[in-house]
Amino acid sequence: MKKPKTMNRENLTHNPAEQALIAQLIEANQEHLFADWDEPGINDEAKAAFLADLARINSSYPGGLAGYIANARTLLAEAKEGSNPFEGCVPHQPNPVDLTQFDASYDRYEALGKAHFGKTAFVLVAGGLGERLGYSGIKLDIPVEVTETTPYLAHYAACLKAMESRMETPRPVPLIIMTSEDTNAKTLASLEAHHWFGLQKEQVHILKQELVPAIADNEGHLALEKKYKLVLKPHGHGDIHMLLHTSGIAARLHAQGYEHLVFMQDTNGQVFNALPAALGVSVEKGFDFNSLAVNRIPGEAVGGLARLIGNGKDLIINVEYNQLDPLLRATVSPEGDVPNERGFSLFPGNINVLVVKLASYTRILESTQGIIAEFVNPKYSDATRTVFKKPTRLETMMQDLAKLFGPNERVGVSVFDRRWCFSAVKNNVADAAAKYKAGGPPESGATAESDFYGAGRTRLSVAGMTVNEAPETLILDLPMTPGPRVILRPSFALTLEEVRTKISGGTIRGEATLVLEGENIRLENVEIADGAALVIKACAGAQVTVRNLKVANDGFELVRLTEAEMQSEATPEYLRIRGYRIENRGAKVYAFTTPGTYLIDATGAVGAWPVQRPK
């Protein structure tokens, strides 16, 4: 880079702290940032904003801007050499705990996890812009389902409230939400507008991640968009660890007796299905770090969890799929990532839901300041790897925390059925359809909703209800199973054992709908016909038994959006990312707003309990 002309430093600012920072940056070879500045009195506002940006980033990054630049130079030098981060390592199967079957061990883990709810806190990383989805709002506001239109954040809050109601001594479950410049204001506005979704304001902690400066070249020069304006980019979800450290929240939770932190992504309606059992696994096996995972087809574009041994290390970490296959070919077998007898890779797919023991986490945060394995991924425009196509930046991923958990810690992997534990909203309709066509998970609004209902059906089946699925159909070239649409609210059931005790017998068919909300509802031999809908909402203290009811009505109908509706601004965006809406044509709704004991009998009439029982 050509040496630029720098102004007399004293002329740049009269603020001593800013002068000190400028001196540090010039020391770090960033003179170009202050070159060709206008005389005092010209563009002063832009200069002040530029210096404020620098100061903010300097204080938010451990080690300051000088540290960031030094880290960038080291990583860029390694990238230029093309060094293989896994050189000397051999991948092994991570010996996962298999929770794909709902057997006695699943029940044991769930019960253990449930008993541990009072010692668990949650971290939601929600700073992502969702560029691939192309949604104008925040992802937490997107409805997980459009039968009743429940936003993801409302669903998560309901899960936390349900956890609280199941504790022997109820206490609020802490929820930490990481936002970013892109999502912070909208997240706060959503919480305010919905009265914190029933949570106490004090139990929710917002941590905003900062953008980091982009880097123009291998020397680590910070990139300028124009004079007085840095190019800023997201640093990745790994920022959460730094923020939990610098805010003191991780240490505080540990001191308050919380034992585990659960990390989760912004859109995954099924995450709480698997959590009780995953928590139970962490407790029983004493795992310091437990990754939730799914069975993965070899080559599938999902990071694989592998045990890597070599270079004096023995780690269970996420290896990106494009690195895993070459690593296997170079070490274990020339065939690379091959399927086992069930067609799955030996390396389960990471879904980025992590259960981490706070005692070990806080110790690791202390020693690392929460800076977790940064990486850089510049795209070069020349063979000598000297010129970048566009400025790059250092990034971190929250799952790379595992790189700091060595043989002294217990690191494990818990594998669940995919639809049971994971389905995210990441892609717009066209991209999702292309991914589906290529054999990968589409991760669209429609497929996430379809999977959400599917997991609900699984709960009914496990409880012994007969479930006849409607045939899968394509909506905008994306697969959707239109029913039965089953929504068992967290207040109704958080564990499989709860579903089993509350539902016995019965049948649900085709495009039927079932919504159950409230802790004390019991269904006995209830039959819901294809297309019909039963909705029961029972307030706290209302005990409702439904016996031998046959539900037949016009229910809810899934209506495809027309081309004109897809294009129209008047159609809510959350529908346009799916391609359909769901309309109530005559669902039977029972709402119990007063505590009491009720029976809905075979005729559908509501009576007070005890009533004449049918012979």
Token couple for 110: 């769930």
Question: Which one of the spans 57-65, 229-237, 411-419, 456-464 is the region binding ligand UGB (CB under 6 A)?
Answer: 229-237
Considering only 91, 96, 127, 454, the residue that binds ligand UGB (CB under 6 A) is 127
Question: Which one of the spans 335-343, 350-358, 380-388, 504-512 is the region binding ligand UGB (CB under 6 A)?
Answer: 350-358
Classify burial at 285, counting beta carbons within 10 Å of its beta carbon; exposed 0-12, middle 13-18, buried 19 or more: middle
Nearer to ligand UGB, 187 or 513 (CB): 187
Residue with tokens 């993801």: 152
Nearer to ligand UGB, 361 or 422 (CB): 422
Query: CA–CA separation, 306 vs 317, rounded Å?
Result: 6
CB of 393 to ligand UGB, least distance (A): 11
Of 355, 414, 344, 417, nearest in space to 102 by CA: 417
CB of 138 to ligand UGB, least distance (A): 9
Nearer to ligand UGB, 58 or 291 (CB): 291
Nearer to ligand UGB, 267 or 491 (CB): 267
Nearer to ligand UGB, 218 or 291 (CB): 291
CB 101 within 8 A of CB 321: no
Token couple for 4: 């630029």
**Eight-state DSSP code of residue 357:** E
Determine if 91 is a binding residue for ligand UGB (CB under 6 A).
Answer: no
CB of 291 to ligand UGB, least distance (A): 10
CB 144 within 8 A of CB 269: yes
CB 174 within 8 A of CB 122: yes
Determine if 223 is a binding residue for ligand UGB (CB under 6 A).
Answer: no
Determine if 345 is a binding residue for ligand UGB (CB under 6 A).
Answer: no
Question: Which one of the spans 8-16, 57-65, 348-356, 492-500 is the region binding ligand UGB (CB under 6 A)?
Answer: 348-356
Determine if 125 is a binding residue for ligand UGB (CB under 6 A).
Answer: yes
Determine if 397 is a binding residue for ligand UGB (CB under 6 A).
Answer: yes
Give the contact letters, 265-284, x = binds to ligand UGB (CB under 6 A), - = no. xx------------------
Considering only 60, 180, 282, 423, the residue that binds ligand UGB (CB under 6 A) is 180
DSSP string of 244-274?
A: HHHTSHHHHHHHTT--EEEEEESS-TTHHHH
Classify burial at 342, counting beta carbons within 10 Å of its beta carbon; exposed 0-12, middle 13-18, buried 19 or more: exposed
Which residues 553-612 are close enough to bind ligand UGB by CB under 6 A?
none
Which residues 416-445 are close enough to bind ligand UGB by CB under 6 A?
424, 426
User: Pairing state of beta strands 596-600 and 550-551?
Assistant: unpaired
Determine if 211 is a binding residue for ligand UGB (CB under 6 A).
Answer: no
Query: CA–CA separation, 376 vs 351, rounded Å?
Result: 22
CB 58 within 8 A of CB 51: no
CB of 424 to ligand UGB, least distance (A): 5
Determine if 234 is a binding residue for ligand UGB (CB under 6 A).
Answer: yes
Considering only 126, 204, 404, 536, the residue that binds ligand UGB (CB under 6 A) is 126
Considering only 178, 411, 433, 476, the residue that binds ligand UGB (CB under 6 A) is 178
Q: Which residues contact 304 (CB under 8 A, 6 or more apart)?
A: 296, 318, 319, 321, 324, 337, 345, 347, 348, 349, 350
User: φ, ψ for residue 37 (rounded to 5)?
Assistant: -70, 145
* Bridge partners (DSSP) listed for residue 353: 292
Q: Is the dihedral of CA 152, 155, 160, 163 positive or negative?
A: negative
CB of 438 to ligand UGB, least distance (A): 15
| 3 state SS of 373 | coil
Determine if 351 is a binding residue for ligand UGB (CB under 6 A).
Answer: yes
Determine if 396 is a binding residue for ligand UGB (CB under 6 A).
Answer: no
Considering only 13, 350, 458, 481, the residue that binds ligand UGB (CB under 6 A) is 350
- The C-alpha angle 251, 253, 254, rounded to 5 degrees, equals 65
Which residues 457-486 are close enough to bind ligand UGB by CB under 6 A?
none
Query: CA–CA separation, 481 vs 472, rounded Å?
Result: 4
Question: Which one of the spans 67-75, 279-287, 349-357, 583-591 is the region binding ligand UGB (CB under 6 A)?
Answer: 349-357
Nearer to ligand UGB, 203 or 318 (CB): 318
Give the neighbor-by-neighbor strand order of the sheet with 596-600. Answer: 503-504, 521-524, 542-547, 596-600, 606-608
Could you tell me how many residues of this chain bind ligand UGB (CB under 6 A)?
Answer: 21
Question: Which one of the spans 345-353, 431-439, 518-526, 600-608 is the region binding ligand UGB (CB under 6 A)?
Answer: 345-353
Considering only 143, 299, 303, 518, the residue that binds ligand UGB (CB under 6 A) is 303
CB 482 within 8 A of CB 473: yes
Runs of H (alpha helix) within 139-228: 152-165, 184-193
Of 394, 184, 151, 190, nearest in space to 269 by CA: 151
Which residue has its beta carbon closest to ligand UGB?
A: 128
Token couple for 10: 């004293």
Determine if 236 is a binding residue for ligand UGB (CB under 6 A).
Answer: yes
Binding site for ligand UGB (CB under 6 A): 125-128, 178, 180, 234, 236-237, 265-266, 302-303, 318, 350-352, 397, 399, 424, 426
